[in-house]
Amino acid sequence: MRRRKGKITTRLVALSSSAILTVYSIGYVRTRTAAQRIDAAERPRVTIPIPSAASQPVAAAVVSETAAAKPVASTPAKPKPARQTPRTAPPPVTSIPAGIPQPAPSAVVAEPPLAPPPPPPATPAAAAVYKDGTYSGWGTSRHGDIEATVVIENGRIASANISQCLTRYSCSLIAHLQGQVVTRQSPDVDYVSGATQSTNAFYDAVVNALAKAR
């Protein structure tokens, strides 16, 4: 008896579950259809009209008019290069036929030759610097005195000699200075290393002798 009761209870549960599922499915289908209708009623569909064949030429005409209204930028024409004229050969030189008098050539006036510049005037002979004669002079130094004798010929120094040497050193160290006075025609002689005082004394002696020849 207990087994039969258990089987009956199981069947009842299965039947009640299938009945509930069926009722739910029917209600869902009906509810979804009604919801779609309400949604469609609230949001009306917007239809876009398809352009007919008659309206297409009008649009093309409008486009062409707007295109014609826009100014077209014209590019400036490039200037054409100047046409170069071809070089023509010079006309040939034709000789004058015989028998026709030819024009006499124009007389060419020869310019007279330029006269040579006059020669520069002759410079007069330089006047004598010194008076001819023999003159003596003295030069002093801390090492002693020297006397020089100068001979003047034709206004020039012919010789200059050490006539007296009273220095503590030999005058042979400055003997070559006598020739420098004649060569340079001046008392300006070179200094001698080791005989500076004797050189100065000889210089002063020649200066004093030439001062007497003026």
Cα–Cα distance for residue pair 28/24, rounded to 1 Å: 6
The per-residue pLDDT for 69 is 46
Q: Per the structure, how many domains does the chain have?
A: 1
Residue 153 lies in a domain: yes
Residue 72 lies in a domain: no
Range of the domain at 187: 133-212
Residue 177 lies in a domain: yes
Residue 64 lies in a domain: no
Residue 160 lies in a domain: yes
On the 0-12 / 13-18 / 19+ scale of CB atoms within 10 A, 163 is middle
The residue that leads in pLDDT, 78 or 190, is 190
The residue that leads in pLDDT, 165 or 26, is 165
Phi, psi of 112, deg, nearest 5: -65, 145
Torsion sign across C-alpha atoms 179, 204, 158, 186: positive
CATH code, domain carrying 204: 3.90.1010.20
Render pLDDT for 92-148 as a digit per residue (tens, 0 to 9). Answer: 555 555 565 665 555 555 666 666 777 666 554 445 689 999 999 999 999 999 999
Determine the average pLDDT of the residues in 157-166.
97
Residue 59 lies in a domain: no
Phi, psi of 145, deg, nearest 5: -110, 160
* Across 8-22, 88-102, 119-133, 198-212, least confident range: 88-102
pTM: 0.43
Residue 191 lies in a domain: yes
Residue 187 lies in a domain: yes
